[in-house]
Structure 1
Amino acid sequence: FTLALALLVPYIWMGQLTKKATLDAGRAKAEMLMRHHFQLEHAGEAALAALDNTGAAMDANDSEICWVRFAKDQEKQLQQLTDKQREMVESLKTEEARDDNIFWEKKGGVQHSNYIRIFKATDVCINCHNPQGSASTFGQGEPIGAMVIQRPAGEISKTVLLNRVWIIVAGLIAGAGAIVAFYMITQRVILRPIRQLRALANNVAEGNLDIRSSIKTRDEYEKLADAFNHMLDGLQATQEKLRQANRQLDDKIAELSERNIELF
């Protein structure tokens, strides 16, 4: 779970980077089309044609591009948009913080990116449409139109797919590394001291009290080994006392036997 959560962060971040790249591409295309369509180049400069992804001159009436002007016949123009496109247009019209957004949807079984930008009236728009100072056609900051750029998202889909593949590969590598690390830790830190203590216990059971544990793990296993060694020291000391007592008892028995012989 922790590994999946850790990989989720770069997955989301890579998805956001992909979305940002697509959004930036849509913004650049919108700016170029705006200059070409509304003729906002500086006076005296030749208008440069907007270019598509292949480098060819872009047609302002391209089927990928849909212009919607917010006028009396707005509803009629909005009918050419999909439901989701209309929802986003209405949402952007009410937002103050942003004027564009992007989303993906399938069209004819093919994934398409939909970049939508709302154009709002500025001083330049008002001065251009009312050069004689007549009544203003637009209000300052009023939404006057929208541009929808819908294009196949084949490259984006490939990028998203590659992101997912690499995240899965990274997850498999990290998972394999975690398994190997867990195995090594289990073998070295947990099972090896247990095997040593078990071998020590088997030797003691066979009567070998001279053996000692040499575990130096600086943890509870080392404390257990020290306690085991202390127990063996105590057993050896007790055994030695028993031997001495037996020798003394043997000496007493031998002395009693000699005295009994002297009595007879």
Structure 2
Amino acid sequence: MAQQSWRRVLGETSLERKCRLLFGFWLTLLISGAFWGVEKVSSDLILKNTRTTARDVVDIALLKPHFNYWETREDKQGFADLLGEQLARTDGRNNHEVIVQDEESKPKQIPNVRIPGNAQEVNILEQLEKMLDERRAAELAQGQVEEGLPERNVPDVDISELFSVEDVSDQDRPIFVERVAQDINEYQYYEPVRWGNTCTICHSEQTPGVEGAGQGTPVDGAELPFTVIKVKIPYEETQSSIHKARAILIAVAIVTVFVSMIALYVIIRLLVVRPLKHLRDVSDRISHGDLESRAEILTDDEFEELGTSFNKMVRHLTETQDELKTVNADLDLKVDEMAQLNMQLFDMNRMKDEFMANMSHELRTPLNSIIGFSEVLQGVDALNDKQHRYASNIQRSGQILLEMINEILDLAKIEAGKQEINPVEMNLHLVTSAQCDLVKSLVEEKNLSLEISEEMEDPMVFQDQGKIQQVLTNLLSNAIKFTPEGGRITVRLEESKDLEDFFVIRVIDTGIGIAEEDREVIFEKFRQGNVSSGQDNLTREYAGTGLGLSIVKEICRMLGGEVSVESQLGIGSIFTVMLPKETTPVQPEAKSDINHRVDQLNRGQTDLSLKPTSSQPVGEQAFPANPEESLSDSREVDIDAMADETNLSQHEPLKDDPQA
């Protein structure tokens, strides 16, 4: 949480404030650390000075009784001079006490001798005695202590032994304990007296309880009573000195930080903030449309390089903007040209629709006449077998040509979005059976096997029956066309395993199969999968427009489904149609006159055949014997008024229907 707060504070603050905060923080940290070290050194120096003063007091405490005693000595003048010199170097105003462990060990020559007054002093004496014993043991181990002692009346006495507390060698550094009594604000210094060889000669006579005392026999210093000198110095002066030094250091630190922050502010303001503020002002003017503004930074440093790069960027952006304006102007011209081309394409498309409608109408009118008269000729008994065969060929060719025209019109109508979807409740099994019955004659001609396999629990669906019939007719016609004699065709109805509320129609054949590279091509317009490379549609083996599967694909898309194929060359193909069980009715948009005429043609306003109206056999009806009379009568036939059954792709099988 604290880290996020610091990031938010520093992230939402200006560069100048960030630099000041960070620099101030680290400067304060460094100065505080440095001054803390200086303050510690100063405090140690003050305490060391106080400790030195306490040692001087110890010297005074030792020198004063010796001064009085040594006046009885023969060499008193030398000792007097030495003691006077030592007294002149020390200050005797400080209090001191001599402490021994018990009353029996009090020396007679030393005044102000007492035993420990509290448990703390007892502990201090025990600690000092232990330290002194360890020092003596170390000296004995190193051979620094003589085993024999000098005779009592040795003329050459080493006077420096009296001041052994001043020895500062590593081994003979004074042994002491110091503490500050906070309750009485007093510095207390404890140091044991080290008895030298000369000291034992004199003090053995004056110290009671020491073996050999008064018999002229020197005694070992370890047998003399353990004596500690306690120096008491008021701590107010020392503490005042420490506080004064600490206050001076804190004041210097504050002044240093303050002056450093001011210097940093001026430096950042002049060297960093001002160039950046200038760049910001220039960028603001450019963003408001003043593209002639440029950065002018003359600092001979990185900011000047930044300003130069900024100017280059602005110049490049200006040039790019000019180029974009030129390109946009060219694009506007292109858009105008495309709009004009679109208008032309719209007119051409309208002309194409008119041409298709007129062509279909003009082609279907004579085709209906041809088909009608061919049916009439087939019913004439006067014709021989050859003539009947010719009439049958004429009728079959006319029907094939008419179906091709109908397919083209159906596809154009689907692409234009003019197809209607009229769903009804129907039995899918019955519709499939009816379509299979319609192509039964074609199946028998090629000696094929046609089966229906139903795996649906409920065959009732709400779909456009006419379009499903058209899909089945086209798929069955393709299967019949491309399955050799003796093959098998299966129509399978089942529930969809992948999608709920969908059903699947599969048309399975044992035909020639489709190559893998042609499985997408067959659903394109005017394409057949078995057309080899370099072979045109006029010389291909299987006739047809190549629109059957294109129409199937578009119808499936309209009904909310899809069609797919699985095939293997030489084994057969499986066409799978997946459709929803329920679809929504769709009405076409408002029709133009051209589309209305196309719809009229597609609904069969012209007649496919001229059928006899009476119940008599065709051969018994009255026909003119003269063919010219028959042709003249045919010119008077009102083709548009005849009953029509044109959409054979929805109601009748398509012979030799082309595979798309």
Q: Same fold (TM over 0.5)?
A: yes
Residue 18 of structure 1 corresponds to which residue in structure 2? 46
Instruction: Report matched runs for 1:49-128 at 5 Å.
Output: 50=87, 64-70=95-101, 77-81=114-118, 83=120, 85-95=121-131, 96=135, 97-107=173-183, 110-128=184-202
CA–CA distance in structure 2, aligned partners of residues 204 and 50 of structure 1: 89
Among 131, 136, 158, the alignment partner of 2:219 is: 136
CA shift, 1:100, in A, is: 2.4
TM-score by length of 2: 0.31
CA shift, 1:125, in A, is: 1.7
CA–CA distance in structure 2, aligned partners of residues 240 and 6 of structure 1: 62
Residue 35 of structure 2 corresponds to residue 7 of structure 1: yes
CA–CA distance in structure 1, aligned partners of residues 229 and 236 of structure 2: 21
CA shift, 1:242, in A, is: 7.4
CA shift, 1:36, in A, is: 1.3
1:120 aligned counterpart, secondary structure: coil
CA–CA distance in structure 1, aligned partners of residues 229 and 89 of structure 2: 16
Residue 252 of structure 2 corresponds to which residue in structure 1? 170
1:44 aligned counterpart, secondary structure: helix
Change in Cα spacing, 1:52 to 1:212, as seen in structure 2 (3 Å) is closer
1:31 aligned counterpart, secondary structure: helix
Is the 8 Å Cα contact of residues 99 and 229 (structure 2) preserved in structure 1?
yes
CA shift, 1:26, in A, is: 1.1
Residue 227 of structure 1 corresponds to which residue in structure 2? 309
Task: Write the deviation string for residues 54-109 of structure 1: whole angstroms up to 9, x where unpaired.
Answer: x7x76xxx8x32211246857x95432562x44444333333454124322134xx
1:136 aligned counterpart, secondary structure: coil
CA shift, 1:16, in A, is: 0.8
Unmatched 5+ residue regions in structure 1? 250-264
2:76 aligned counterpart, secondary structure: coil
CA–CA distance in structure 2, aligned partners of residues 89 and 189 of structure 1: 68
CA–CA distance in structure 2, aligned partners of residues 101 and 181 of structure 1: 49
CA–CA distance in structure 2, aligned partners of residues 225 and 6 of structure 1: 41
Is the 8 Å Cα contact of residues 7 and 171 (structure 1) preserved in structure 2?
yes
Change in Cα spacing, 1:79 to 1:126, as seen in structure 2 (3 Å) is closer
Among 34, 43, 66, the alignment partner of 1:38 is: 66
CA shift, 1:200, in A, is: 1.5
Change in Cα spacing, 1:194 to 1:87, as seen in structure 2 (3 Å) is farther
Change in Cα spacing, 1:212 to 1:50, as seen in structure 2 (3 Å) is closer
1:156 aligned counterpart, secondary structure: helix
CA–CA distance in structure 2, aligned partners of residues 178 and 73 of structure 1: 68
CA shift, 1:148, in A, is: 0.5
Bigger shift: residues 143-152 or 114-123: 143-152
CA–CA distance in structure 1, aligned partners of residues 324 and 182 of structure 2: 91
Change in Cα spacing, 1:11 to 1:88, as seen in structure 2 (3 Å) is farther
Unmatched 5+ residue regions in structure 2? 1-28, 106-112, 136-172, 206-214, 331-660
1:139 aligned counterpart, secondary structure: helix
Is the 8 Å Cα contact of residues 35 and 249 (structure 2) preserved in structure 1?
yes
Among 257, 274, 297, the alignment partner of 1:214 is: 297
CA–CA distance in structure 2, aligned partners of residues 218 and 82 of structure 1: 74
CA shift, 1:236, in A, is: 4.3
AA paired with 1:139? A
Change in Cα spacing, 1:145 to 1:130, as seen in structure 2 (3 Å) is closer
Residue 283 of structure 2 corresponds to which residue in structure 1? 201
2:292 aligned counterpart, secondary structure: coil
Change in Cα spacing, 1:87 to 1:233, as seen in structure 2 (3 Å) is farther
Among 229, 234, 237, the alignment partner of 1:155 is: 237
TM-score by length of 1: 0.71
Task: Write the deviation string for residues 118-139 of structure 1: whole angstroms up to 9, x where unpaired.
Answer: 1122222223335866262523
CA shift, 1:240, in A, is: 6.6
Is the 8 Å Cα contact of residues 295 and 311 (structure 2) preserved in structure 1?
yes
CA–CA distance in structure 2, aligned partners of residues 179 and 213 of structure 1: 29
CA–CA distance in structure 2, aligned partners of residues 105 and 116 of structure 1: 13
2:294 aligned counterpart, secondary structure: coil
2:185 aligned counterpart, secondary structure: strand
Task: Write the deviation string for residues 169-223 of structure 1: whole angstroms up to 9, x where unpaired.
Answer: 122212212322332343234322221110121222242335234253634x445
Residue 260 of structure 1 corresponds to which residue in structure 2? none
1:157 aligned counterpart, secondary structure: helix
What's the C-alpha RMSD, in Å, of the aligned pairs? 3.7
CA–CA distance in structure 2, aligned partners of residues 146 and 44 of structure 1: 29
CA–CA distance in structure 2, aligned partners of residues 98 and 228 of structure 1: 75
CA shift, 1:143, in A, is: 8.0
Instruction: Report matched runs for 1:242-253 at 5 Å.
Output: none
AA paired with 1:43? K
Residue 183 of structure 1 corresponds to which residue in structure 2? 265
Change in Cα spacing, 1:191 to 1:164, as seen in structure 2 (3 Å) is same
Is the 8 Å Cα contact of residues 200 and 213 (structure 1) preserved in structure 2?
no
CA–CA distance in structure 1, aligned partners of residues 97 and 198 of structure 2: 23
Larger Rg belongs to: 2
CA–CA distance in structure 2, aligned partners of residues 51 and 33 of structure 1: 13
2:222 aligned counterpart, secondary structure: coil
